[in-house]
A = this chain, B = another copy of it.
């Protein structure tokens, strides 16, 4: 990759990060190009679709979440480890504008870039935690990782943008984990 191309790529990415933080997943691509100091054609060559740009912007953050799943893998209480991780995913999604929406669309679309999408990364990272939780009998056997991530992402989506989004998202995830009906 030529050095000027790399420089432009990075500038676009950081402009996109700022703009998406301000306006969410629907941020104007032209405005991003403008702020990055490049022409719109350059943006479109580096990122052929809006989804591609979103994935690139959120890739680092999602990687952090995946790393957290790795740390939690050895936790003595697999059920708590899974719950902690799901809460973390929900909070990230609820507080990072556009992420939840991007994950939702990314999971729906024909998923052009094969297995490297953010959604796939999260599924892979969560699968291990869920397996351990299953083995420990801490999670109903019929629950899949896709179920859990769908639910958590839905919560992120629904709470994103509200004041106290993180608190709200955590509450709702806990509610789904424990159930609406009282125990006992």
A residues contacting B by CB (< 8 A) are 79, 104, 108, 137-140, 143, 147-148, 150-151, 153-155, 157-159, 161-162, 171-172, 175-184
Q: How far is the CB of A107 from chain B (nearest CB, A)?
A: 9
Kindly report which residue of chain B lies nearest to residue A104, judged by CB atoms. Answer: B158
A67 to B156, CA, bound (A): 30
Interfacial chain B residues near A159, Cβ < 8 Å: 150
Interfacial chain B residues near A157, Cβ < 8 Å: 104, 154, 157-158
Q: How far is the CB of A30 from chain B (nearest CB, A)?
A: 19
Given contacts A157-B154, A176-B151, A137 and B171 within 8 Å (CB-CB): no
A153 to B157, CA, bound (A): 10
